[in-house]
Amino acid sequence: MAILVTGGAGYIGSHTCLELLNKGYEIIVIDNFSNSKPESLKRVSKLSNKNFKTYQIDLLDKKRLDEVFSTNQFEAVIHFAGLKAVGESVNSPLRYYENNVTGTILLCEAMRKYGVQNLVFSSSATVYGSTNEVPISEETQLNAMNPYGRTKQMCEEILKDLYLSDQTWSISILRYFNPVGAHISGIMGEDPIGIPNNLMPYISQVAVGKLKHLTVFGNNYHTIDGTGVRDYIHVVDLAKGHLKALEKVLATKEIGVYNLGTGQGYSVFEMVEAFEKASGERIPYIIKDRRPGDVAICYANPSKARNHLGWKATRGIDQMCQDSWRWQQNNPNGYNEQAEKQNRREQPVFNHASDFFMPKT
Ligand code: WQD
């Protein structure tokens, strides 16, 4: 039986698909490609030398979602699909609630209908909001401060209530800290649409000359050098954390919430310095006011994931920057259109009955 990966073409989803295939799992991907490109799945196929079904559908399309479940056998679902830009969520809250919360409910309804009750859910450290308690443990009071974070907090509550109503479900909720980096091959990585909101992709685009300079949002926080401190975690460590959570949900009938972070915080200036070392490029910056909604310090207590999932991040800041830089240098325009047009030409014709395609290696 297969593992269904929703949002499998995304940054964390695609890296997790690769780890799943390399571990011997059969996968099926659904993605609406609203914030990702089929090219990422072609790279997954290339690196794993394996093919898999992909359905281009939206979780809100109940009929097509039902078709996916009625024509395939799943033993578990890893649910990444969702919108994740904090600023965008403030401007478009209804879109975020419909996409992230309603989408999760429809997915769970389809799972229940077809007797699939093993779920790994992609949550975020954003649910903690601004807390003075660092390192942050899973017991820290939740206090999401923006619509995106609130969609994740609501989904967590929904999943907890679902489990309490029927303890034959098995659910792992993973709260990511700051995912960065790329697969060591340099052919998979983060491909933000437009100007990056997040620090690492912004820095790497400055290093490759796509952007002029970095804007540092505030240097008057009570931190080591006045700039914001975050728990950056390598995307491959994060992907491997999902496999550990999948093993957990397949082996037990319980619900668990886990921080996926390194437990080590780095400031903006420390990240700039590490990236300059990894790339050999200077990262010019200007300092502006704090960004609304930012907290000073946020890093994880990752001991629960270590003790209950047998998972620990192993890749340090230097590898995060080296792997990011390799991806950025090899793919200055990410999964660019040219590669995608090339991929479409090679692509087998959609099978209208099941409307899926197999990315060719
Ligand atoms: C990191 C630090 C900024 C950009 C966000 C989302 C969170 C999660 C991860 C989804 C902060 C500073 C940033 C820049 C800067 N995503 N910075 N200049 O805000 O910790 O978390 O991404 O789940 O939901 O909120 O990450 O990378 O945006 O910021 O100075 O151009 O870098 O102030 O201190 P953040 P980030």
DSSP string, 73-129: -EEEEEE--S---HHHHHH-HHHHIIIIIIHHHHHHHHHHHTT--EEEEEEEGGGG-
pLDDT band for position 51 (cuts 50, 70, 90): very high
* pLDDT for position 347: 44
Nearest residue (CA) to ligand 1, atom 28: 198
> Which two tokens mark 124?
């975020």
Q: Report which DSSP code applies to 36.
A: S
Residue 12 lies in a domain: yes
Cβ(215) to ligand 1 under 6 A?
yes
* 219, 272, 291, 324, best to mutate for ligand 1 pocket (most atoms within 8 Å of CB): 291
The number of residues in the chain equals: 361
Residue 267 alpha carbon to ligand 1 centre in Å: 11
Which stretch of DSSP H or E encloses residue 41? Answer: helix 38-48
**CATH number of the structural domain spanning residue 215:** 3.40.50.720
Residue 54 is which amino acid? T
The reply to whether ligand 1 has any atom less than 6 angstroms from the CB of 96 is no
Residue nearest to atom 9 of ligand 1 (CA): 178
Beta pairing class for 266-267 and 2-6: unpaired
How many structural domains does the chain have? 1
Range of the domain at 214: 2-346
Average pLDDT over residues 321-332: 96
What is the pLDDT, as a whole number, of residue 237?
98
pLDDT in tens, 287-308: 999 998 899 999 999 999 999 9
306 assigned to some structural domain: yes
Compute the distance from residue 156 Cα to the ligand 1 centre, in Å: 22
| 355 inside domain | no
Q: Is the CB of 291 under 6 A from ligand 1?
A: yes
Average pLDDT, integer, range 39-63? 98
Residue 226 lies in a domain: yes
Indicate which residue's Cα is closest to atom 21 of ligand 1: 178
Residue 353 included in any domain: no
- 274 inside domain: yes
Domain presence at residue 219: yes
**How far is residue 77's CA from residue 13's CA, in Å, rounded to a whole number?**
12
Query: Which ligand 1 atom is the nearest neighbour of the CA of 298?
Result: 20
| Atom of ligand 1 lying closest to residue 84 CA | 10
Range 26-40 average pLDDT: 97
Tell me what the pLDDT averaged over the chain comes to.
Answer: 94
Check pocket membership of 220 for ligand 1, CB cut-off 6 A: no
pLDDT at 353 (0 to 100): 34
> Which of 234, 216, 238 is CA-nearest to residue 226?
216
Task: Indicate whether 351 belongs to any domain.
Answer: no
Active site members: 148
Does ligand 1 lie within 6 Å of residue 51's CB atom?
A: no
* For residues 14-38, average pLDDT: 97
